[in-house]
Amino acid sequence: MDSINRVLLDRIQRSFPLSARPYDVLSEGLGIDGEEVRRRIHALKERNLLRQISAIFNTGALGYRSSLVAISVPEGEVERAGAVVNLYPGVSHNYLRPGNYNMWFTIAVPPGQSLEKTVEELAEKAGGWPTLILPALKKYKLAVVLDVLEEGEAGEESSGAPVVEALAPFQPTEDNVRVVRCIQEDLPLVENPFEVWANSLGITEAGLLKLISQWVSYGFIRRFAAVLNHRQVGFSANGMVVWSCPAERLDGCGRVLSSHAEVSHCYCRPSYPDWPYNLYAMVHARREEECHSIAEKLGNAIGLKDYRILFSTREFKKIRLKLFWS
């Protein structure tokens, strides 16, 4: 991957231009034109380095309830349990990780549906094994930006941390739901992509761009940006680091962890008698040894040395969650 592609990936995973001709905007300072940007983005998708460019929604702001879930599945039942869990459309990620609780998945249920009942029914179908429901009680950081640049290459500053909690209630009108369903898909790779979307919705391009910008500012959309394939761009070691943190120190430790660039997500989650961990940080590195070094550095920063790193040993499912699927 050459320098131009690395800079492009850095730019578009931070924030994609909300402009009538966004690929022209992306070409600025690179010595290429918008058509060459589109050609390069197409090639990056063909190589599976780039998953898609779209709105990344705040599911909670849209009325969904979501959670991380862990199930303790016997080794001989893993295949069947994974297949059952994957069938639910609200399950976007499902990984095998070492330990007693070995199947970890994220789930989102639509407005009006019970998260707890849905997980209970799903876990029962999967075999009725011990299950932990681990919703985010507090969110300290939500921003996956992988450092794809090499030394000496100039990246761009992020436009700001995504809004963690929505600043206004989302109105799930028929028109708004149609917009959500449209802009959660991959942006068309044409000169005026937002015009294509706007035409399909029966609104003006300017109106759609204004609405997307408003939704970003309200916190309905966390970012309008690209999602990279972590492993394909070299970040094959992705570890979930967990600590048992005293309740009175959670907010302070969460803020410290969030200040580290290696941390993409940081949450407070409930603990259980057989799972005492309540502070979570996702770290991304090129090798497992790097993850261990990062975790040690993070532990030193917050003064908590007792931690675990859970690496994904198998990927059962990894897709973009489709909102308002029914």
Provide the annotated active-site residues.
93
d(CA 256, CA 262): 12
SS (H, E, C) 71-115: ECCCHHHHHHHHHHHHHCCCEEEEEECCCCCCEEEEEEECCCCCH
3-class SS at 60? Answer: helix
Structure-block tokens of residue 98: 């070492």
Helix (H) or strand (E) holding 56: strand 50-57
d(CA 109, CA 122): 12
Contact of 230 with 146, CB cutoff 8 Å: yes
Contact of 159 with 293, CB cutoff 8 Å: no
The closest of 31, 13, 54 to 193, measured between CA atoms, is 54
Contact of 162 with 143, CB cutoff 8 Å: yes
d(CA 109, CA 115): 6
Structure-block tokens of residue 19: 């402009």
